[in-house]
Chain A
Amino acid sequence: MSLRPLLLLLALLTASTGLAQERPLRWGAASDGNVPFAFHPDESDALTGFEKELIDEVARRMGRRAVHVRNDWDGLIPGLQTGSYDLAINGIEISDDRARSVDFSIPYFRGYEQIVVRRGEAGMRSLGELAGRRVGTLGQTLALELLERTPGVTAVKYDQELQAYADLATGRLDAVLLDFPIAKYYAGPDPRLELVGGPVGEFRYGVALPKGSPLKREVDAALAGMTADGTLRRILSRWDLWGPAQAALLNQPPEPDGPPTGYLEYVARSRASTPWTEKLARYFSAESLALLGRGALTTLALSACAMALAVVLGLALAAGRAFGPRPLGFVCTAYVEAVRGTPLLIQALFLYYGLPEIGLRLPPFVAGVLALGLNYAAYESENFRAGLRGVPRGQEEAALALGLSRGQALRHVVLPQALRVALPPMTNDFISLLKDSSLVSMITLLELTGAYQRLATQHYDYFLLGAVVAAFYLLLGLPFVRLARRLEAKLDRAR
């Protein structure tokens, strides 16, 4: 017997115990798109980017192990406040507004907004010249603020930088105003686009921490140390983001220290324009499929748990309305109307970001199951009610006349018939739920739609990947469509 597996196991064990001794430093950041901050260069879970390298080094100096926690960019600050992670680092501009709700570290980057237009288009070289134009940008940014303050500009808000530049390239926008690092990475390598004009405005990026966080001192110390010994300069140089502005901010020599290998690797990857056959092959690579497969599994598990909750709670609600005392019936009706009358997305955001404010912090999966389950329970209760109403009074009377108790009559005569009426629409609801589960990608859950967004922003392709992911949803739903058909056919025969 070879000793190698044993040795490997031993090595793994010591490695894992070594890791376990280091306390984690949980850092929140988006990872869909998000170049050059922290992004997935390929289908694996590996991250790269200048902030990723920066925070790894900060954590090392704090004697901790950096652990990435994925979130939407818009949700970064709320997630910080609910304690999903210790700090957020994601090109967050230090502003008075934000400083009211979070603490900031000392700045680690100084930059400005960059105008990007379609190559060759003239007359949009300054903020003033953008008047009368449609200009894309991201929400909650200095760029958006500047655009909104400039008379005559139509500012268009995007969630993903990639989508803003894509709309610019296809002519839906006249220009995009975004942070220079974003422009450099997304628009720079794109031959259809051009960076024009001088610096617009000025911002500093800082690490955001919860108000009063004891970690602030340590983070500041680590950043100061990295500045003083040139580590920060080396990282920014590697990503080709070192220039006079940084030099002035950090009081360092203006010339870069080392080749821009991070930038060059990125450009080489994104330049490689691939034919669609090769793209498809890449989407069906083991790694892509593994990511989509995991997403699909999450979608399925989420939907199944949510539906189970919806059915049980729906039955309870319907029973409360049909058989309960008046006040209970009223509460059940109010629940159904309230849930049906408000958007699922609001409910999900409320559960995930709202409840922690009253001390109830739910993991994303639980929040997702609850959001979908509580929502669909309202619809299932209506299905059950329709089912109960569909059973003629005579059925219960006949059962009672045979000596059955009310409970026995309900269980053996009324419910089985009500279920037959309710079952086909319930199966259809499950298929809708499967699709609605895509909404919970909003609460940091990487299900199928989340996987789609990540792959799409990584490959700059919403088109082919969209088709691939749609196929995944169809495949997931198909068994249930068939089940619904079979049930309906079977019930029709037993009518």
Chain B
Amino acid sequence: MTLLAARDLRTSYGGTEVLRGVSLTVAAGEVVCVIGPSGGGKSTLLRLLSGQEAPTSGAVLLDGAPAEPVRLRREVGIVFQALHLFPHLTALGNVTLAPRVLGKGAPEALESRARALLERVGVGPELHGRHPSALSGGQQQRVAIARALALEPRAILYDEPTSALDPERTADVLALIRARADEGIAQLVVTHDLPFARALRARTAHLEAGEVAGDSAGLLDDPRDERTRRFLRARLP
């Protein structure tokens, strides 16, 4: 059953249309991968889906009904490409900030939940008190995912989750995403990294020039659209 959906999203910056009618769906427990050339509109799509911006036209649907950005911001988590962890807070502080400020429970309860969350994404207790500057890239990524999970979102969006990591660490990210899928969370993963996209073994959408050029489970192996074929050819070794 579709949890999060884009319906004919359009948006433009200063006259140029960046998204030109994008439709896409993600079901609970499903992982959808989005690939496409730089400037194709992938990050813009994530901003609309996470409620950071409102589209010019079209709608983002939650459970089939149009949802306002305010609601999306609370129900859809996002892991930024640059992570944007809060440097003045510890790993634990990063995770507890939003629930605390939004009054989601007593401080002790929030803290033990945050600790559990950090452990769930593989951040050991010895790291909870560290500031982001004292964590490795992979550890930071996990904290960012834990932070996105803190408000118990039903969907999580990832923008280039492997771009800042050593190739060896991509397997970890893969495992983290799989685990979230098992928890029933809808996930959308934007990536440049074709091996990683293949390893996800997920339905894949190709976004180019603000349009969905293709969207299928076999897109990477059996591209139908000429634009997708060209894109994949250019990136093959």
Contacts and interface: CB of A to CB of B under 8 A. Distances in A.
Contacts of B97: 399, 402, 412-413
A417 B52 contact: no
Given A394-B80, A394-B84, A402 B151 contact: yes
Interface residues of A, number: 19
20 contacts: A392-B84, A395-B86, A397-B84, A398-B80, A398-B84, A398-B85, A398-B86, A401-B50, A401-B51, A401-B77, A401-B80, A402-B73, A402-B97, A402-B98, A402-B148, A402-B150, A408-B102, A413-B86, A417-B86, A417-B87
User: Which of B73, B74, B84, B148 has the most A CB atoms < 10 Å from its CB?
Assistant: B84
Contacts of B82: 394
Contacts of A399: 86, 97-98
B147 interface: yes
A494 B88 contact: yes
Given A412-B97, A420-B88, 17 more contacts: A398-B85, A401-B73, A401-B77, A401-B78, A401-B80, A402-B97, A402-B98, A403-B98, A403-B151, A404-B101, A408-B101, A408-B102, A413-B86, A417-B87, A494-B88, A494-B131, A495-B87
Interface in B127-175: 131, 133, 147-148, 150-151
Contacts of A420: 88
A494 B102 CA distance: 25
A481 interface: no
A404 to B, nearest CB: 6
Contacts of B86: 395, 398-399, 413, 417
Nearest to A404: B101
A400 interface: yes
Contacts of B52: 397, 400-401
Contacts of A412: 97, 101
Interface residues of B, number: 24
Interface of B: 50-52, 73-74, 77-78, 80, 82, 84-88, 97-98, 101-102, 131, 133, 147-148, 150-151
A408 B84 CA distance: 17
Contact of B74 (A395, A403, A416, A417): A403
Nearest to A409: B101
Contacts of B51: 401
Chain B interface main SS type:
loop
Chain A interface main SS type:
helix
Contacts of A397: 52, 80, 84
Contacts of A494: 87-88, 131, 133
Contacts of B50: 401
B78 to A, nearest CB: 5
A495 B82 CA distance: 16
A417 B101 contact: no
B133 A495 contact: yes
A420 B89 CA distance: 12
Interface of A: 392, 394-395, 397-404, 408, 412-413, 416-417, 420, 494-495
Contact of A416 (B77, B85, B88, B148): B88
A402 B102 CA distance: 10
A417 B151 contact: no
A392 B148 CA distance: 19
A384 to B, nearest CB: 16
A400 B73 contact: yes
B88 A417 contact: yes
A49 B151 CA distance: 79
Contacts of B98: 399, 402-404
A397 B151 CA distance: 16
A173 B101 CA distance: 71
A403 B98 CA distance: 7
A429 to B, nearest CB: 22
A391 to B, nearest CB: 9
Contacts of A402: 73, 77, 97-98, 147-148, 150-151
A-B pairs with lowest CB-CB distance, top 8: A398-B84, A402-B98, A394-B84, A403-B74, A403-B73, A416-B88, A401-B78, A408-B101
B33 to A, nearest CB: 21
Contacts of B147: 402
A233 B218 CA distance: 118
A413 B147 CA distance: 14
B154 to A, nearest CB: 13
A404 B88 contact: no
Contacts of A403: 73-74, 98, 102, 151
Contacts of B73: 400-403
User: Which of A392, A408, A413 has the most B CB atoms < 10 Å from its CB?
Assistant: A413
B50 to A, nearest CB: 5
Nearest to B144: A398
B210 to A, nearest CB: 21
A465 B131 CA distance: 50
Contacts of A400: 52, 73
B107 to A, nearest CB: 14
B156 to A, nearest CB: 11
A103 B84 CA distance: 72
A404 B84 contact: no
B155 to A, nearest CB: 13
Nearest to A408: B101
Nearest to A402: B98
User: Which of B78, B82, B98, B131 has the most A CB atoms < 10 Å from its CB?
Assistant: B98
Contacts of B151: 402-403
Nearest to B85: A398
A240 to B, nearest CB: 72
A399 B150 CA distance: 13
Contacts of A401: 50-52, 73, 77-78, 80
Nearest to B133: A495
A198 B98 CA distance: 87
A412 B86 CA distance: 10
A413 B98 CA distance: 10
Contacts of B102: 403-404, 408
Contacts of B85: 398
A397 B101 CA distance: 16
User: Which of B101, B131, B147 has the most A CB atoms < 10 Å from its CB?
Assistant: B101
A179 B86 CA distance: 71
B168 to A, nearest CB: 26
A398 B83 CA distance: 8
A408 B150 CA distance: 17
